[in-house]
Amino acid sequence: MNAVEIDQVSKSFRLYHERNQTLKSAIMRRRRSVHEDFWALKDVSFDVPEGSTFALIGSNGSGKSTLLKCLAKIYWPTSGSIRYNGRMAAMLEVGSGFHHELSGRENIYLNGSILGMSKKEIDRKYDQIVDFSGVEQFIDQPVKNYSSGMYVRLGFSIAISVEPDILVVDEVLAVGDAEFQEKCLQKFRDFRDEGRTVILVSHSMEAVRDMCDHAAWLNKGHLMTVGDVDSTIEAYLGGKGAHGAA
Amino acid sequence: MSYLRTVLDSRELLMYLTLREVKGKYKRTLLGQLWSLANPLAMMVVYTFIFAFIFRVQPDPGDPSGLNVFALWLLCGLLPWLFFAKVVSGGVDSLVSNAGLIQKVYFPRVVLPLSLVTASGYNWLFEMAVLVIALMIVGAWVLPWLPLVLLMMLLLAVFAAGVSLLVAVANVYFRDTEHLLSIVLQLWMYLTPIIYPLSLVRNLSNDVGGLLGTPITLLDIFRLNPMERFVAVFRQLLYDNRWPDLGDLTFCIVSALLALALGFWVFARKEKGFAEAL
């Protein structure tokens, strides 16, 4: 059973030589703009097995973040399709949509509903969210008075409480102090033990090796290898070395 | 139709975003919600002074209510207009100012402009309640018309939502939209008989006669403006206390539904590209 099936996904962006975002230039030129297509992803296909912790690796500009954003439904593939078996939630940034003047409590409800939780669900998980974030003392204070650590901890706690079947994560694992990071990692392990699927992007091969069981290596928008984590990392490091030598 | 479903499914999100607008807006102000009354009241004082006392504009007394108070006559048209203007001028910016959110989280984007409709609607309800009380104090028999007034408010909200969706999408691609819009809204306000009665336009139109030899008069063109019809119906209900003109009412319903359908259609087609375009 696959949690996510990525089928022939391609994504192109328009590189504007002259970006005409004003009416004047649009009218003067009689057309929108001069551009060429840049393919950030080209015919990428692979499956993410259910219950796996799956890493997308590759050097900068390899298209892994674009793929992640496609998976998070923020970008729409130019062609190809992505199928999900289960509820997907993405954590690309924590605390998105917090309103600074509103209290922590109000922001839990606001942010939770942006992430797709119903009021009932948030009511049920409220104590758990506050507990995990460790900000209960300040929960009725406006979040603008929070320290940056408290801010991301609250954001992370809300996002993690969505408890999706498939969790898509950018490199946001490193939030808060060492103690909180350990709590986060534990949470991801719990996720895996509960049979949920986690897809993440990371540059730290140690973290990937430690946490993930599957990986896919992307290079310049093309899928190089996909499979179990050790052989993929080996291919990636080897490939990089070969490139470096050449 | 499937788009209405999306909106219904995200009604809780819409509620929290509305609360964000409503609560965030007057946080740390002494008068809080009362500030929402300040702007219409200030405009009422200025316009009444200029147009009723200096220019001596005299709208017909309410029929059959018999009311003859310029300030209240003005407010019956001004409050709906201000609501409409606030929704549209806030909505135009709603996607661009939430770019960070759009690029980081997936959620139905349509709730962003719609949350301004509900938040402004909440303030408008408050303003209209004050107006109704004032009308009752001077002796208008408004109570039986209140259900219809509420229905018209809903209809205007639908119209405003449709227009707001269109300008919000346009602004993602052409940032000129928001600057152009502030000028358009000013012109639109003066082309809508809010601070002067339609009868003045009718007199002018009768003097001019058919335009360019056609039977089409200035008044006909003037009345193509949906906001003119909305203002007329609000005045018929609140100021005159009578059944709204059927033609006006139909015009309002049709333009509201058309605006919303067009707004949803354009929004749904463009929504997938927002994260990149912003």
Distance in angstroms (rounded) separating the CA atoms of residues B48 and A225? 75
Q: Is A119 on the interface with B (CB under 8 A)?
A: yes
Residue of B107, B180, B275 with shortest CB distance to A116: B107
According to DSSP, the β-strands at A79-84 and A2-18 are antiparallel
Confidence tier at A159 by pLDDT (50, 70, 90): confident
**Cβ-defined contact of B102 to A110 (cutoff 8 Å):** no
Query: Which pLDDT value is given to residue A30?
Result: 60
Query: Which pLDDT value is given to residue A245?
Result: 39
Chain B hits for A122, Cβ within 8 Å: none
Query: Which pLDDT value is given to residue B256?
Result: 97
What is the biggest distance separating any 2 CA atoms in chain B, rounded to whole angstroms?
A: 61
- Can you tell me the mean pLDDT for A193-199? 89
Rama region for A57: left / alpha / beta (φ>0; ψ in -120 to 50; rest): beta
Minimum distance, in Å, between the CA of residue B160 and any CA atom of chain A: 24
* Structural domains in chain A, sorted by start: 2-87+201-245 (3.40.50.300)
Long-range pairs of A132-137 with CB within 8 A, sequence gap ≥ 24: A132/A157, A132/A160, A132/A161, A132/A183, A132/A187, A133/A157, A134/A180, A135/A104
Q: Would you kindly state where each structural domain of chain B is located, as residue ranges?
A: 2-277
Provide ipTM, 2 decimals.
0.80
Query: Which pLDDT value is given to residue B229?
Result: 96
Query: Which pLDDT value is given to residue A182?
Result: 83
Residue A86, pLDDT above cutoff 60 = yes
* pLDDT, mean over chain A: 84
Q: What is the pLDDT of residues B197-223, one digit of tens each?
A: 999 999 888 888 777 778 888 888 889
Which residues in chain B land under pLDDT 50? none
Q: Is B27 on the interface with A (CB under 8 A)?
A: yes
Minimum distance, in Å, between the CA of residue B208 and any CA atom of chain A: 36
Distance in angstroms (rounded) separating the CA atoms of residues A34 and A162? 42
Q: What is the pLDDT of residues A45-82, one digit of tens each?
A: 889 988 888 889 888 888 888 899 999 888 989 888 89
A59, amino acid identity: S
Chain A hits for B273, Cβ within 8 Å: 76
- Can you tell me the mean pLDDT for A219-226? 88
Distance in angstroms (rounded) separating the CA atoms of residues B115 and B153? 16
- Can you tell me the mean pLDDT for A123-143? 91
- Can you tell me the mean pLDDT for A219-246? 77
**Cβ-defined contact of B12 to A110 (cutoff 8 Å):** no
SS3 A219: strand
**Cβ-defined contact of A75 to B275 (cutoff 8 Å):** yes
Query: Which pLDDT value is given to residue A246?
Result: 36
**Residue A204: DSSP 8-state:** -
C-alpha angle B170-B176-B182 in degrees, rounded to nearest 5: 95
